[in-house]
C-alpha cells in the first residue's frame, strides 16, 4: 500500500495513521527470530482473544511487549508463570492504533529457571554466609515503643492495616509514617532512604516495613542487597510484612521479626493496652501485699521480743532467790546453832564468853545459852 503524504507547499506531511502503517509495513520485512527473556506481567484473561506478556532482559531490565493468540498459547500447554525465562520465536510488529512495538509470538519455549531466582539464591547464600540472617542477630521488640516507624508504599491497604491493628490494640500509639516507592528499579534505594529517615526520628523504637502483597516481580526490590543490609543494620528492630509464604524476600530473613501480613505486624509492635493496665494493677497489688508481709513479719518479731522482755525481771528474781538460798545454806552450816542442838551451851558472864573456868568465881551470875533459848544461873 502506497502512503500518500499531504503536501503543504514544499513540506510533505504524514498523518499519524499513515506513519504507523508505514512503519508496520516496514517491520513486516524483518525476519522471524528468537528472543530470550523473562516473562513478566503475563495477562491471560478469559474474555481476551490474545495473551499478553512482557519479556524482560534480566541483566539490564529492558522490556519488550509480546502477544500471542490465546488459542496458540493454550495449545503450547506451558503453564507459564511470571519470572520464568523463555525463548520466544516471533517477529516485531507495530500495534498501529497505539504506535507501540511488540513481538508477535509464534512459539514459546521455556528456558531454565529465571535468572532472577538464581541470582537471588546466590545473594541469599552470600548474605547467609556473612551471618546476616542468623538468629543471634535478632533483637527483641520493645514491649512498649515510644514511637513506631512505618515504611510503606502509598497504597491504602498495607498502611491502613498496620495503623488499624496498632490502634486497636494500643490506642495511645504514636506512629511516624514514611511513604515511599516500593516497586520498580528505584524502590530499593527509596526504601533504604525512608528507613533511615524514620530511624533518625527521635524516640522511634521499632520500625515496620510493610507492603500488601504483590507478584514475584513486585517483591524484587525487597530482596535487593542494599535494602537487606539496611534492614539488618537498622539501629532499631525491624518487623517486615512483605510478600508471601512461597517467595520470602531476603529482607524478611534479615528482619528482627517477620509478620505474615501488615495486620499481624501491627499487632506485634504494640502491647494490648487493657492487658498492660491489668498487669500494672496486679504488680501494684503484689507490691502492697509484699510490703505488708514484711511489716507483719517484723511486727511479729517485735512482739516476741517484747514478750521475752516482760519475762526478764521475774527470771532475774528467781535466779537471785536461788542464789540467796544457797548462800543461806552455807551460812547455816557455819552457825553455832547446829553445835548447840547437839547439847553444847554457850556461857557468858557479864556479856562476855566464858572460855576458861578461871574466869568465874563462886556466886557469879552467868547466862547460859542452849539451842532453844537461854537462862540465868549462879556459879557454886
Partner 1 sequence: MTYEEAEKELTQIVERLERGDAGLDEALKLWERGEELYRFCTAQLEAAEGKIEELSKRASDAGTTR
Shortest Å distance, C-beta 156 to partner 1: 10
Shortest Å distance, C-beta 175 to partner 1: 5
Tell me which stretch binds partner 1 (CB under 8 A): 10-18, 26-34, 169-177, 369-377.
169-177
Shortest Å distance, C-beta 236 to partner 1: 13
Please enumerate in sequence order all residues whose Cβ is within 8 A of that of 94, keeping only pairs 6 or more positions apart, or say none.
20, 23, 24, 27, 100, 101, 102
Contacts of partner 1 in 259-298 (CB under 8 A): 273, 276-277, 279-280, 283-284, 286-291, 293-295, 297-298
Q: Is 182 or 269 the residue whose CB approaches partner 1 more closely?
A: 182
Shortest Å distance, C-beta 70 to partner 1: 28
Strands 238-241 and 257-258: parallel
Q: Sketch the per residue contact string, 296 through 335, with partner 1: x for CB under 8 A, - otherwise.
A: -xx-------------------------------------
> Which residue in 12, 137, 186, 244 binds partner 1 (CB under 8 A)?
186
Q: Is 53 or 170 the residue whose CB approaches partner 1 more closely?
A: 170
Q: Which residue has the cell 519479556?
A: 55
> Which residue in 50, 72, 96, 197 binds partner 1 (CB under 8 A)?
197
Residue 196 makes contact with partner 1 by CB under 8 A:
no
Residue 193 makes contact with partner 1 by CB under 8 A:
yes
For residue 263, the SS3 value is helix
Nearest to 217 by CA among 93, 15, 54: 54
Q: Is 107 or 283 the residue whose CB approaches partner 1 more closely?
A: 283
Residues that contact partner 1, how many (by CB under 8 A): 51
Residue 337 makes contact with partner 1 by CB under 8 A:
no
> Which residue in 201, 275, 307, 318 binds partner 1 (CB under 8 A)?
201
Q: 175 with 163: CB under 8 angstroms?
A: yes
> Which residue in 137, 146, 321, 337 binds partner 1 (CB under 8 A)?
146
Please enumerate in sequence order all residues whose Cβ is within 8 A of that of 333, keeping only pairs 6 or more positions apart, or say none.
none
Question: From CA 44, how far away is CA 52, in angstroms rounded?
Answer: 7
Q: Centre a 10 Å sphere on the Cβ of residue 15 and count the other Cβ atoms it contains.
A: 12
Shortest Å distance, C-beta 181 to partner 1: 5
Shortest Å distance, C-beta 140 to partner 1: 10
> Which residue in 167, 229, 247, 379 binds partner 1 (CB under 8 A)?
167
Question: From CA 110, how far away is CA 38, in angstroms rounded?
Answer: 10
> Which residue in 83, 114, 153, 237 binds partner 1 (CB under 8 A)?
153
Rounded to the nearest 10 degrees, how much is the dihedral formed by the CA atoms of 182, 187, 190, 192?
A: 90
Would you call 242 exposed, middle or buried from its count of C-beta atoms within 10 A (0-12, 13-18, 19+)?
A: buried
Question: From CA 263, how far away is CA 166, in angstroms rounded?
Answer: 8
Q: Is 56 or 85 the residue whose CB approaches partner 1 more closely?
A: 56
Question: From CA 315, how far away is CA 283, in angstroms rounded?
Answer: 48
Question: From CA 7, how far away is CA 16, in angstroms rounded?
Answer: 15
CA 30 to chain centroid, in Å, comes to 62
Edge-to-edge strands of the sheet including 257-258? Answer: 147-152, 204-210, 238-241, 257-258
Query: Which parts of this chain interact with partner 1 (CB under 8 A)?
Result: 142-144, 146, 153-155, 163, 167, 171-184, 186, 190, 193-194, 197-198, 201, 211, 214, 218, 273, 276-277, 279-280, 283-284, 286-291, 293-295, 297-298
Amino acid at each position: 500500500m502506497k502512503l500518500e503524504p499531504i503536501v503543504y507547499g514544499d513540506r510533505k506531511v504524514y498523518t499519524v495513521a499513515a506513519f504507523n502503517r508505514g512503519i508496520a509495513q516496514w517491520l513486516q520485512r524483518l525476519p522471524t527470530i528468537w528472543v530470550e527473556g523473562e516473562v513478566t506481567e503475563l495477562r491471560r484473561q478469559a474474555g481476551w482473544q490474545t495473551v499478553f506478556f512482557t519479556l524482560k532482559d534480566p541483566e539490564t531490565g529492558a522490556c519488550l511487549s509480546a502477544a500471542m493468540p490465546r488459542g496458540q498459547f493454550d495449545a503450547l500447554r506451558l503453564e507459564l508463570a511470571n519470572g520464568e525465562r523463555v525463548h520466544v520465536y516471533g517477529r516485531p510488529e507495530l500495534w498501529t492504533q497505539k504506535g507501540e512495538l511488540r513481538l508477535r509470538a509464534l512459539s514459546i519455549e521455556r528456558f531454565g529457571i529465571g535468572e532472577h531466582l538464581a541470582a537471588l539464591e546466590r545473594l541469599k547464600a552470600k548474605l547467609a554466609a556473612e551471618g546476616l540472617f542468623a538468629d543471634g542477630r535478632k533483637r527483641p521488640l520493645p514491649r512498649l515503643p515510644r514511637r513506631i516507624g512505618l515504611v510503606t508504599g502509598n497504597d491504602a491497604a498495607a498502611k491502613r492495616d498496620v495503623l488499624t491493628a496498632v490502634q486497636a490494640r494500643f490506642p495511645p500509639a504514636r506512629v511516624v509514617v514514611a511513604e515511599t516507592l516500593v516497586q520498580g528499579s528505584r524502590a530499593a534505594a527509596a526504601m533504604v532512604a525512608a528507613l533511615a529517615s524514620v530511624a533518625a526520628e527521635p524516640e522511634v523504637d521499632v520500625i515496620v516495613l510493610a507492603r500488601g502483597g504483590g507478584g514475584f516481580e513486585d517483591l524484587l526490590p525487597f530482596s535487593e542487597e542494599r535494602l537487606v543490609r539496611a534492614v539488618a543494620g537498622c539501629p532499631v528492630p525491624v518487623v517486615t510484612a512483605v510478600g508471601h509464604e512461597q517467595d520470602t524476600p531476603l529482607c524478611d530473613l534479615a528482619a528482627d521479626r517477620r509478620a505474615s501480613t501488615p495486620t499481624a505486624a501491627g499487632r506485634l509492635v504494640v502491647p494490648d493496652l487493657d492487658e498492660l493496665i491489668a498487669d500494672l494493677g496486679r504488680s501494684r497489688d503484689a507490691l502492697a501485699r509484699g510490703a505488708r508481709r514484711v511489716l507483719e513479719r517484723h511486727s511479729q518479731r517485735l512482739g516476741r521480743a517484747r514478750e521475752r522482755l516482760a519475762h526478764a525481771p521475774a527470771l532475774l528474781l528467781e535466779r537471785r532467790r536461788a542464789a540467796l538460798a544457797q548462800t543461806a545454806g552455807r551460812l547455816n552450816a557455819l552457825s553455832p546453832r547446829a553445835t548447840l542442838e547437839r547439847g553444847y551451851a554457850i556461857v557468858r558472864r557479864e556479856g562476855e564468853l566464858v572460855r576458861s573456868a578461871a574466869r568465874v568465881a563462886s556466886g557469879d551470875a552467868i547466862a547460859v545459852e542452849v539451842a532453844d533459848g537461854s537462862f540465868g544461873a549462879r556459879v557454886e
